[in-house]
Amino acid sequence: MTNVLAPVTKTPTATRSPWVMLAMATIGFAVNFWAWALVSPLGPLFRTTGALGNLTESDVALLVAVPVIVGSLGRIIVGGLTDRLGGRVMFPIISGVTIVPTLFIAFFALDSYALLLVGGFFLGIAGTAFAVGVPFVNAWFPPEKRGLAIGIFGAGMGGTAISALTTVKLTEGLGGKSPFLITSVVLAVYAVTAWLVLRDAPGRVVPTTSLASRISANSRLPITWQACLLYAVAFGGYVAFSVYLPAYLKTAHQLTPASAANRMAGFVLVAVLMRPVGGWLADRFGAIPVLATGFGVVVVGAGISAGTPPLQGIGTIAFLAMAAALGSGSGATFALIAKVTEPSRVGGVTGLVGAAGGLGGFVPPLIMGYVYGRTDSYAIGLWMLCVTAALALVLTVTVVRRTVQEQETQ
């Protein structure tokens, strides 16, 4: 049999603390997700102000969804490259490259819908940072702590909350360029710091086969397609709400752009805090119970939200409950992957699963915008989420449970 893995020689600099590496990876994830989500909070403003004031609901939905799909599909390649090159190289590269579209939007695209789509397309590169961090963190921790560690790393998705809380305020207070310029500076600082501080885990193995062959092999693993479906619902639901919630709240509940962005930040914060909790619970009780419970909560929450209840009571509770469920489910999904996947394949599998999660977030905003444009109601879209979560619940307690049991008996 041909040897497809080559061990990495341990160097003195490879003995750094796993927790320092985890902290740096989490910061990098948050910074890149901050950049990835810069366009979304501005969606309501683009509809009503400036040169873009004639945009339709579907136009806004496409604008905020384009970075999502690019960041999602890009994870397939970036995950494979991380298996080969390591997170120490890939984190600075992704962060540095993301500066280019961020500055492009600031100086050239704010008054042009077409150029915003172009800038948003390349801004999607920031979303691939997820596929860098999971294999990087996974390699630094023993199996019994990987759920918690990857869950903590996953909390870096709170970078979208930074964007939600600051983008509109900075735009209104300092001008449209300011959030993009500030984010560019932060990305540059992180890229340099990551290059100086990050080190790949001791004993990391490097695949020597081609990227295409590894993607093909990883895609045929049962856990890959199963986790893809679960993550498409869990993380995809989170991404869909985080990018579309400001527009939904403004239209369905007549909130101001700033108020809608603040409420979206609250949704994101709950999901972020619950992601490491979901990973920790999966380490302790198993991923299946955590996932099943989360999808059950989404079924109920989406059903309630379809009736557009007032935000002062049950409406807010339903959305926050869904945020907690989607966050914990996202953390549990990667605890599941860490449990049943060879460490040398985690990057490749993560890329595929991460792509599915991002695509899961790409489709719902387009559906919501399309449905609302023809019915003046979001109910159909929310009922579709309810049904999808119910199907994910059934998949979890049947097919995925059997996969885990088979792995445990090997």
Domain boundaries, the chain: 11-200+210-409
Tell me, what DSSP letter sits at residue 220? T
Band of pLDDT at residue 3, cut at 50, 70 and 90: very low
Band of pLDDT at residue 48, cut at 50, 70 and 90: low
Give the CATH architecture of domain 11-200+210-409. Up-down Bundle (1.20)
| Alpha carbons 330 and 173: distance in angstroms, whole number | 35
The answer, yes or no, to whether residue 15 has pLDDT greater than 60, is: no
**What are the start-end ranges of the H helices in 177-307?**
178-197, 211-219, 222-253, 257-285, 287-305
pLDDT in tens, 238-247: 877 876 787 7
| Alpha carbons 265 and 245: distance in angstroms, whole number | 10
pLDDT in tens, 299-317: 999 899 888 787 788 888 9
| Alpha carbons 205 and 188: distance in angstroms, whole number | 29
